[in-house]
Amino acid sequence: MRDTKKEVEQLCLKLEESTKLKRNGKCIKFTNTAHNTTTPIDSWKFLDFDYGKDKVQLPIQARGLFTTDNNSIVVRGYDKFFNVDEKSFTKEAELKKSTTGPYDVTLKENGCIIFISGLASGDILVCSKHSTGVRDDNTRNHALEGEAHLRQQLGEERVGELARYLHKHNLTAVTELCDDEFEEHVLPYPKDKSGLYLHGLNYNTIKFQTVPISDVVKFAQDWGFKTIEYLSFDNVDELFQFLHKCSETGTYNGREVEGFVIRCKRNGEDFFFKYKFEEPYLLYRQFREVTRQMLGGTPAPSIKIKKNKYITKKYLEFVEKLFAEKPDLKESFNLGHGIIHVRQLFLQDLHETNGMNLLSIDAKLTEEVRKLKLDNGGVDEETTFLLVSISTLGCGKTTVFNTLHSLFPDWIHIQNDNVGKNAKVKITDLALQALDNYPVVIFDRNNSEFRERKQIFTTIAEKRHLYLDERKEIKYIGINFVNDISEDELWRITFNRVKERGDNHQSLKAASDEELTTKVMKGFMSRFQPVDTKRFPDSQFDHVINLKLNENDSSLANVKIIIDELSREYPQLIKNRPSDEEIETKFKKSLEYKPTFTKDMTSSNKKKDPTYYGIAIHRQNMLDSLNELDKNPEYNKLKDECLVQESFHVTLAHVASARGAERKAKWKKIKATFGKGEGKQGEKEYLEFHARVKLIQFVINRGKLVCIKCEVVSIHDNKSNQVVDIEAINRHMHVTIGCFPPTKAVESNATLEELYRDDVHDVKPDGVYQVAEDVIEVKNLVNPVELGDQKVFVYY
């Protein structure tokens, strides 16, 4: 089975065209030389979330594709396949209708993909998912490791025979490298089980065509690969009965497995889907992540635990004690080793062997705590609730919250509008203090941007030990005032409301200054970022209550929605629901509310001294440059947890750094060159300058952050295009890619300062460096990237 050269050439042209796209189907091309040859190999990769989308038409669905000479496919992975219920076409009911058997069920091994193929020269070609050959970086080279395993497993002579056989038959051998000494995943592989497991033989064709699993197993036995177990079902109902039964224990034949891959036919063509077990693997991953947070400096009581809280707390207590007794295990964990061993020690400590039993223990502990709370008559002293509004101006949040406070006097209502601009104590600190004394704290601020919501979670995590007992649990409840409404409708409703309110507000005096009111409201609306619980920081909410916003006064209905949802989700919180009559009486009273405090908003229009100057880095340019980090576990963790920054910038100078005669002079010159702009508090303002920035080196402070060291090549005046002569205050120019809470972006600068302390080199070589308590990984870009026309801005 072979495509014609012309068909492959046309495919490569389409792939080349898609590398020029900015999004939706963008392809990433990486060219390298096959190991021990001079043959150039092109790798083609799409972003994972573009596969399976109806609106994105990819030239090919292969996940792992390598070509040479633009006319020959030399490695072809599986078409991207999805979990049951992940896509509309993998819903269980749909799969039963649209697929045909036999259904071959293979165990999902827990390693990294290695592709093996043969070149026309007779050389073996071994690839990881998207790379082959020697690379000039310090990350684990899965392709070379896979080749070393192949030569050891088969022997040199057989490797040559395999290369010729695969080339002759136009096949790619798809294997899984499972070796805990090289790289740990979730499930353990003892030494005798380590190696290359063969689970597929794909034809190197544009259309996905794969060899039946029975022939794959025979091939593995003949050539010396490790084999995978498989079962066959002719009946689809029997197949799903088997899958559901295994998911109850997370095991197959007494062995913990991550799930199964099912091979069948759809529309007469080869089709794969997977059935992954959620548990105990999500719990195992959570163990790994909370340990990393603890090693990154977050106190165990401050670590946010999403699920299975009580067993995870027990695990953290165990690990804290274990690392104190055996610091070598702590060091190994920091370097990515011993993760499974630590988990197994925890299981041994509980006298358990099956991870599913941990879920039973957690359920038992949860029930015990629940009963204890009920016995104590409702909310216990260890649980407190923070109601966090997400809104823009004019949504009625203060009326809603005043009504709730009036109905429940032991709930405290803290208003940002009552906190003066120059107040030394911020609203987050006030909320923290209140959480120690009240069962419910209402955090009345708009929190319209991700950064504001993030600030709540990170500040409370950092400071909670100053105010709260470590046993105290905080439930974060998002009160979403802006839900399912168009921008035009949102503006019309809220602006009319604010106009009708007139001067009856702490800061917005619509009757006295409609122009300022309009400007402030438009600023809020332009910055509003809707709630997205799939990404950080909104994923930190324990529950989000979506409210209504309409032409009529919807605030009364919203009070009832909040009370009813809290009663349903947390029955111990509201033991006796107020009657509708009581709610309406208190609501009418709240409408009479007159603020006694006035916050001066006009000062925000006065010119202020800048907080910092920076260069805004185009987001897609930056994301494209991060492709070299695709195999880095810290970067992948940032992506998985949605912690990659929404926007990127290089800080040129910050007022806090302008100390000492030399730095003050630099700051003064920068201000004189760039000007102060309009000076709008809390806003970024673009200036009439642009810059060229060179990205040089990735710096990964494990468990804390990822950043890129860079160089500002030049800054130009937009009007004259002349280079301006300024010197940045920061010694190490950098872009923060993302941070693990509670680490803040400012720590990127501290990381680089520590890394390069007393160092004469401008750029450190690739490697892993121990700096005080931090493990810092350095990886220079294979091809340093220069970005032109990046805008200079000032922030107040």
**β pairing state of 99-107 and 473-480:** unpaired
What is the end-to-end Cα distance of the chain in Å, rounded?
64
Q: Which two tokens stand for residue 115?
A: 């592709």
CA-CA distance, 50 to 420, in Å (whole number)? 47
Neighbours of 267 (CB within 10 A): 8
CA-CA distance, 68 to 389, in Å (whole number)? Answer: 55
Phi (first) and psi of residue 12, to 5 degrees: -65, -35
Assign 446 to helix, strand or coil. coil
Q: Residue 678 to residues 593, 608, 732: CA-CA distances in angstroms?
A: 35, 8, 28
How far apart (Å, rounded) are the C-alpha atoms in residues 611 and 243? 58
For residues 326 and 148, give the distance between their C-alpha atoms in angstroms, rounded to a whole number: 33
Distance (Å, whole) CA 600 – CA 513: 12
* 62, 14 Cβ separation under 8 angstroms: no
Query: What does the alpha-carbon distance between residue 647 and residue 588 come to, in Å, rounded to a whole number?
Result: 43
* Burial of residue 435, with CB atoms counted within 10 A of its CB: 0-12 exposed, 13-18 middle, 19 or more buried: buried
Q: Is residue 789 helix, strand or coil?
A: strand
Placement of tokens 């680490």 in the chain: 743
Nearest to 126 by CA among 145, 110, 152: 145
DSSP 130: S
* Contact indicator for 294, 321 with CB cutoff of 8 Å: no
Nearest of 306, 557, 588, 412 to residue 546 by alpha carbon: 557
The residues, ordered by sequence, that sit 6+ positions from 793 with a Cβ below 8 Å of its Cβ are: 613, 614, 615, 616, 649, 684, 685, 686, 687
Distance CA(43)–CA(65), nearest Å, equals 6
How far apart are the C-alpha atoms of 412 and 437, rounded to whole Å? 9
Four-residue CA torsion sign, 479, 481, 484, 487:
negative
Tokens for 645, please give them. 């920054």
Tokens for 453, please give them: 């919501």
- Rounded Cα–Cα distance for residues 79 and 60 (Å): 8
Known catalytic residues are: 108
Closest CA relative to residue 416, chosen from 383, 384, 456, 376: 456
